[in-house]
Structure 1
Amino acid sequence: MRAHCLLSVLIALGSAAPALSQVPTGLPAPAPGGVDTLRARKHVYTLFKPVPTALMRPLSTDRPDATESAYSVDAGHFQIETDLLRLGRSRLDEQTAAEELGLNHANLKMGLTHNVDLQVVVESYTIQTEGVGETSTRRAGFGDVTVRLKRNLWGNDGGPTGFALMPFVKLPTGRSCGNGAWEGGIVTPFSVQLPHDFTLGTQLQATLNRDSEVKEHYLELAPTLTVGHDLYKTLGGFVELATAWDTRNPGWTATLNGGPTLRLGDNLQLDTGINLALTKDTQTTYFLGLSFRR
């Protein structure tokens, strides 16, 4: 996919919709019970007129699971979600192993409107090793940058379900670590609030990846399903099945993901976990991350 086509999609989806639950100072009191009235009142907040702290929705992150959140960052507020440390290992054959160490792979988010946020995913530093012993090769450096635009269509500030569209484009900024190609696609995260503090999330991600050997793009489809649960007020956890299928080599790859999350206040969250390979030639990954909002 050409870069200008992907950027056009990003721009086209950047418009308006939902919002929150208390009454901001200076605005009229809500009419009895109406989410639509609440949306109309919160419509006044923008990138340059931030949502008041008291009205911000609960912290919602795209990490640590592969399933993205259906909810956007409040207008005028900034959020960072980062892999402080991510270590992935896979075995390509009986004599060849691959290892990847990622440091501070960060997703930088900014709320633009009441239902749209802009995200820049930066692979700050990556070390890739392939092979065993003296025959191994090593690459290290700054990686690719991905630009994403999330538009929540409903459920941002209440309701049993939430849904969003998130187109993205990957910029080939990495030299040593990267495939040197423009790539992009769209993600469709959907969330359901279940009884007893359980949540269900699912998505379908469609990506046009680049095969550097044949110099062609190919389609990859990646559905996921995740279940989260709050064990205590500050401690939660998730279990997830993440899969992928591409048109080059029809067949599925899959990982079983899980781990705890620890909330340290309204705007700070720590997490750790594992993505356990279920299929051959799939990477098993261990991670430690942090999310912060202001």
Structure 2
Amino acid sequence: MKKMHLFNLTLLLISGLFMGCGSTGLFVTVTQPAEINLKDFDKIAVGEIKGSGSGVLSALSDLVRVVGGGETKDSGSNKFSAELTQVLFESKRFEVLDHESLKMGFSQNNFTGNIALISGTISEYNYSEDLTHKDVEKKDKKTGEVDTTRTYYREGTAKVSVSLRIVDLRTSKILATRKFDKSASAKESRKNSKPLRIDRSRLFEACRTQIIRSFMRMIVPYTERVYVSFETDKKMPELERGFRMIKLGNWDAALDIFQRITETYPNSPLVHKAYYNLGLGYMYTDQFDQARTALEEAY
């Protein structure tokens, strides 16, 4: 993982040297490494996600939300736990254990293998709403009468903050801890009357989904599409041929073309472009040592 991060830094620095040169590009699907290495853990469980704060003020705040038809930290924590468990199960990366069964089985030493336990606290689970209006006056040119149209705007924002930690259940060692802050907003408007109510539950769900997605990227490798620019030059048509092979998905043929350019024209003032493309090709086929060597030659 460190090799990947260091390589990306090298690529970033070298890419800056080529900016402004002739290039063309395409979107490539790449696998990004997880931030936390849990490859030694084959089992995982979602433990307690605490929702309620302490004290009278927290209890009164939750009571107001319930009376107003809103969600509380407790209801939000229950939904968050269920949704996180579902996403972990669907990832097929871990054997997902039931927390209550885990506690009973662990006390009886019924489990083998390394087990990671996720727990946390929801420190913020709030919704706020603003209702404003704007008047627009339109004067009739014939009668001189002024007609006023009032447009009402309603904007609601949900904010959720969750602190999560991962613990090695056998050693009690904290493997990772992170706080996630997410918000989601929605707007409604209507002329001459107040707009419809905003579905705050949908906004809370959006916040929880964003947090779970960010957390999963911490512990499970993920794919994303990135735009990659390759060097081309009319004076060296082989570069374009190699790029066409990449567009067709034939990375091996492209690498072969770029490699042959470096061997056929070692003293060409354009050979650095072939090395650059070669380095990118190696990178996006997960051959990082070869990629670094090629990019160093490009530099």
Structure number with higher strand proportion: 1
Higher helix share: 2
The alignment's TM-score, normalised by the length of structure 1, stands at 0.28
Q: Which has the higher relative contact order, 1 or 2, with Cα contacts under 8 A spaced 6 or more apart?
A: 2
TM-score, normalising length: structure 2: 0.28
Structure possessing the higher radius of gyration over alpha carbons? 2
